[in-house]
Amino acid sequence: MQVSKVLVVDGDRTVRDALVTGLRFLGLEAHGADGAMAARTWLDKDRADVMVLSELLLDGAALDLLPGDLGSGRAATVIIANSPSRVSNYRADVTLLHPVSVGRVIEQVEVLLRSRETTSGSVRCDFGMLSLDLASARLANGDDSVRLGRTEARLLRFFMGYPDRVFSRAQLLERLWPRTVHVEERTIDVHVRRLRLALRALGCADYVQTVRGSGYRLSAMPQ
C-alpha cells in the first residue's frame, strides 16, 4: 500500500510547516514548496495525490500549477485557500476562502483522500496476511478481526507504506505527531505494544519487529 502524498504550496513558511506537520500526523507523506517553481520541480520527480495550493506564493504564479498541465498521470486534486476576488478563476475540487484554519484545510484533505479511496475501491490496505480497513480501523486476518485504536491504526498504516524499512522512535514521532505536541519517545513503545497485542490476536504478532539499536519495522519475513 502506498502512502498518500500531499504537496503543500504556500509562500508563508509558518502556515506551510504547520500544514505539513499536521498532515504527517495523519500518516500522510507531506512535502512543502514555497512557490510554483519549487512545486513544479518536485512534481517533475514525484506524484501528488492532493495539492494544497495558496495564492500566497513567493513567485506569485499559482495559476501555473492548476490542473490541466498536471495530467501526465499525476491526477493531483487541488485545494485552494484564496481570496474571494480570484476564486472564480480556479478549477478546484474544494475552494477554501482565505483566511482559513490549518485544521480546516487538513480536514478537507482527509475528505478528498477518503473520497478517492472509496471511488477507486482502495479503502483497504493489505500486508501479508493482514487487511486494514481505513474507514473503520478494523484489522483482519481471514475471518478474524480486531478494532484498532486511532493511533495504532495510524501507526500500522504508516508502516504498511514502508514495508521492511526501519524507523527510529524519533523518526516515528516526527512523522506521526505534530511538533507542537510534546511526546516522549517511550510513547512509541506503548503504541507498538498495543499494536502487537492486536496482531497477536490475529496470529501476526511477529510482523512488528524490534531492530536493536535502531527502532521498529513492519515485515512479514521472520527475524
90-115: pLDDT as tens digits: 556 677 777 778 888 887 887 777 66
- Taking residue 85's Cβ as centre, other Cβ atoms within 10 Å add up to 8
pLDDT at residue 24 in the model: 83
pLDDT band with cut points at 50, 70 and 90 for residue 1: very low
β-strands 215-218, 208-211 pairing: antiparallel
Chain segment 165-196, per-residue pLDDT in tens:
999 998 888 777 766 566 788 889 999 999 99
Q: Is the pLDDT of residue 2 over 70?
A: no
Q: Which has the closest alpha carbon to 77: 86, 67, 64?
A: 67
What DSSP designation does 3 have?
P
Asked if the model's pLDDT at residue 163 lies above 70, the reply is yes
Higher-confidence residue of 58 and 119: namely 58
Residue pair 42/76 in contact by the 8 Å Cβ criterion: no
Q: What is the pTM of this model?
A: 0.54
The domain 5-120 is placed in CATH, from the list 3.40.50.1000, 3.40.50.720, 3.40.50.2300, 3.30.300.30, at 3.40.50.2300
Q: Which CATH class is domain 124-218?
A: mainly alpha
Render pLDDT for 129-146 as a digit per residue (tens, 0 to 9): 899 987 778 899 999 999
Domain boundaries, the chain: 5-120, 124-218
SS (H, E, C) 71-114: HHHHCCEEEEEECCCCHHHCCCCEEEECCCCHHHHHHHHHHHHH
Q: Is 8 helix (H, G, I), strand (E, B) or coil?
A: strand
Q: Do 123 and 153 form a contact (C-beta atoms < 8 A)?
A: no
